[in-house]
Structure 1
Amino acid sequence: MPITITDVATRAGVSKTTVSRVLNGKGELDAATAARVRQVIAELGYVPKAGAVGLARGRTRVIGMLVPSLTWPWIGEVLQGTIDVVESAGYGLMVFTCTQGDQSMRRFAGQVSAKSFDGLVVIEPEGTLDYINSLHEQGLPVVLIDDREHRPRFPSVATTNRAGGEAAAEHLLSLGRSRAAVITGELRFGCSRERLAGFRSRMAESGHPISPKLVEGADFTFEGGLRAMTRLLHSDISFDAVFAHNDLSAAGALQALAEAKLRVPQDVAVVGFDDVPMAAYTNPPLSTVRQPMRGMGEAAARLLMSHLDGGEQLLDEPHIVPTELVVRGSSHPQARSSEPGGA
């Protein structure tokens, strides 16, 4: 049976008139009540009939945000950056995840059809880029926060993944670490390929190319980093440094090194990527390439707000927010043993 406005009103504990006012953006409503109604609309996947949607004639002053999941370690920072800008501009934010696959996307598509928001910020759920591009072509203002090396035909915010990899290599080389291993993220993602290419290029330029045997794939998780480091420790090639493609896998690598009775950074220096909050609290604290996650959310929201409120054109080119190397105890320049090793 199709979801009706009565279903929405019953679930939200309000009248049908209140639901209609939320849909049309008319009349004074308590902010908490309006937010509850919109949440129920999203949960039920309610799509009002065209004749009932006053939103089509005006503005909702709501921004949509589509993300793969809220459990990714850096999503919270991106979300907070987006919220800070959106709320400062007097807008609300509707967040959609894709944790239930096609069912999630059907609910999201229903909210698009209902014109529940004026513009969209996206961290692309895998396999949805063509659909998001079609929304842009149909007139929905969209800004993509991109970590997958995609070059969409609409505005995006990206960071310098390749330069971040180069900076990690330069730092390790400055410590005299010339036998580097790499724990990659999933190489189907552009961010992983860029980080590996930058690191590998800088090491090769210095005369210390990375052995293919010292490149281990992982999946951006603590467990994946631990397993990858265990495999490296059982290889027949020694190493004195490790570059992990995110902080969770770097933390897993630290655990494996500790279990192998190897000292960090004296025996093996470790550098991660992202600078999530836990990076400062590992043992030892993790050196990492800071990805400006909150800044990326802020930049994406500002691009969208400038278009919606200021009429500025959204340019089909990426807005770049640079990475930054953060040096902590896992690669401290003053800690070095006379005989580094790693296998």
Structure 2
Amino acid sequence: MGVTIADVAARAGVSKTTVSRVLNSKGEINENTVLKVRKAISELGYVPSAGAVGLARGTTQMIGMLVPDLAWAWSGIVQAVIETLETEGFGLRMLTWNHGEESLRRLGLQVAAKSFDGLLVIEPEGAMGYITELHEAGLPVVLIDDRFQRPGFPYVATTNREGGAQAARHLLEIGRRRPLVVTGPDAFGCTRERLGGFVDVYAEAGIEIDQRSIICGDFQFERCRSAIAAALADGLEFDSVFAHNDPSAAGVLTALHEAGLWVPQDVAVVGFDDVEMASYTYPALTTIRQPMREMGAAAARLLLDHVRGVPKAAPSCVIPTSLVVRGSTLRPSPN
């Protein structure tokens, strides 16, 4: 059983009502009592429930942002969030989701301390229940989502299914009729959406993609590199590859190069995301652009609308993907 408000009260030597008043900053409380309660919360690792916190909020001019890590993959989103918030006179408090329950405890303490007016969230693995609880208790929350989650609070998403369809239409337009698909993790909604859009367009063209030509790459460079090497060793014939993210596509390019195959002459390759590295691969990567900066800016504006109580604030926002054509599918035209 988790730590309760009663445990905190017992450790601090106060009543549960006093702990609740400290969490909600309600009433006049002796400073020593406040310090004892906060010390007990820290020592016990207590994560306040949304109900216990109450979320009777003032304003801090700060926005919290919970991210899985600070890796380069999120840099476009984060930079757009920062720029949008600064324009509106708000600051940003970053929280990472690297340490599971410990990260959740830290989030709870920040909420209890009313450190921010609203929360932006990216991929809250294992925390959606708690974040939903916070939203239902009154904390403005917006999810920035590329995995096709649809929470009970506002979100900003992109068109993963249409992105898969865009990749398929492009490969068909350049005459590629034997594609291989390297997918993301099976549990992710975006994997199913990207695969579904791709397969449907090929089916409409009268081409059924065999299950052997669909390989899980888990969004990982090395796994995709190994998967392509194994497919070639098994004699699987393909003239193109659709990889479900750009690091996966980079692994595909490396494996094809190591096998002595030319891109795009022998095999055309399409990725997904259009992160910075897509321009630096050899050849440069054709990819489906996920509008990271636009998603970050839209999420920040949407959250600020809800923080400010703007009438008729939009519940959610979906921003479309687009095809970016580079050398991995089309050779440059001769001068």
Matched, 1:283 2:282: yes
Using the TM superposition, give the Cα deviation of residue 320 of structure 1 relative to its aligned residue in structure 2, in angstroms. 0.7
One-letter amino acid matched to 1:90? G
CA distance in 1, matches of 2:57, 2:187: 42
Deviation at residue 230 of structure 1 after TM alignment: 1.4
1:65 paired residue number: 65
| Deviation, structure 1 residue 150 | 1.4
Q: Secondary structure at the match of 2:308?
A: helix
- Structure 1 residues 92-241: aligned runs within 5 Å: 92-241=91-240
Deviates more, 1:130-139 or 1:220-229: 220-229
For the Cα contact (< 8 Å) 1:61–1:90, is it kept in 2?
yes
Conserved 8 A contact 1:213-1:235: no
Q: 1:325 aligns with which of 311, 323, 332?
A: 323
**Contact 1:154/1:314 (CA < 8 Å) preserved in 2?**
no
What count of residue pairs does the alignment treat as equivalent?
291
Does the 8 A contact of 1:160 with 1:323 survive in 2? yes
State the distance in 1 between where 2:244 and 2:47 align: 41
**How far 1:234 sits from its partner (Å)?**
2.1
Structure 1: unaligned runs, 5 residues or longer? 3-22, 24-41, 336-343
Query: RMSD value over aligned CA atoms?
Result: 2.6
- Superposed CA deviations along residues 260-279 of structure 1, whole A, max 9, x for unmatched, are 00000000000000000010
Aligned counterparts of 1:312 and 1:220: Cα–Cα separation in 2: 40
Secondary structure of the 1:109 match is helix
- TM norm structure 2: 0.81
On the 8 A contact 2:239/2:266 being kept in 1, the answer is: yes
SS in 2 for 1:173: helix
Partner residue in 1 for 2:291 = 292
Paired amino acid for 1:262: L
| Partners of 1:175 and 1:333 within 8 A in 2 | no
Superposed displacement of residue 112, structure 1: 0.8
Q: Distance in 2 between matches of 1:47 and 1:219?
A: 32
Distance 2:229 2:85 in 1: 44
User: Which residue identity lines up with residue 326 of structure 2 in the other structure?
Assistant: R
Q: Structure 1, residues 8-61: CA drift from partner, whole Å, max 9, x if none?
A: xxxxxxxxxxxxxxx9xxxxxxxxxxxxxxxxxx9xx8999xxxx9x9562101
Q: Give identity over the alignment, percent.
A: 56
What amino acid does structure 1 have at the position aligned with 2:62?
V
How high is the TM-score relative to the length of structure 1?
0.79
Q: CA deviation at 1:126?
A: 1.1
**Could you tell me how far 1:81 is from its partner in structure 2?**
1.0
User: What is the rounded CA distance, in whole Å, between the counterparts of 1:275 and 1:334 in structure 2?
Assistant: 19
Where does residue 7 of structure 1 map in the other structure?
none
Q: Matched residue of 1:153: which SS?
A: coil
Q: Partners of 1:278 and 1:115 in 2: how far apart? A: 38
Q: Kindly indicate whether the alpha-carbon contact (under 8 Å) linking 2:264 and 2:327 is maintained by their aligned counterparts in 1.
A: yes
1:213–1:110 Cα change, 3 Å:
same
Task: Give me the whole-angstrom Cα distance separating, in 1, the residues matched to 2:267 and 2:68.
Answer: 34
Ranges of 4+ aligned residues in structure 1 off by more than 6 Å:
45-48
State whether residues 176 and 239 of structure 2, in contact with CA within 8 Å, keep that contact through their aligned partners in structure 1: yes
Deviation of 1:177 (Å): 0.3
Q: Could you tell which deviates more after superposition, 134-143 or 120-129? A: 120-129
Inter-CA distance 302–140: structure 2 relative to 1 (3 Å threshold): same
Residues in 2 aligned to 1:84 and 1:258: alpha-carbon distance in whole angstroms: 40
Indicate the SS of the match to 1:330.
Answer: coil
Instruction: Give the secondary structure class of the aligned counterpart of 1:271.
Output: strand
Say whether the 8 Å CA contact 2:284–2:326 is kept in structure 1: yes
For 1:292, the aligned partner's letter is P
Q: CA deviation at 1:124?
A: 2.4
1:28-47 equivalences under 5 Å are: none
3-state SS of paired residue (2:95): strand
* Residue 309 of structure 1: how far off its partner (Å): 3.4
Contact 1:154 1:315 in 2 (8 A): no
Q: Distance in 1 between matches of 2:207 and 2:191?
A: 21
Tell whether the 8 Å contact from 1:46 to 1:111 is kept in structure 2 after alignment: no
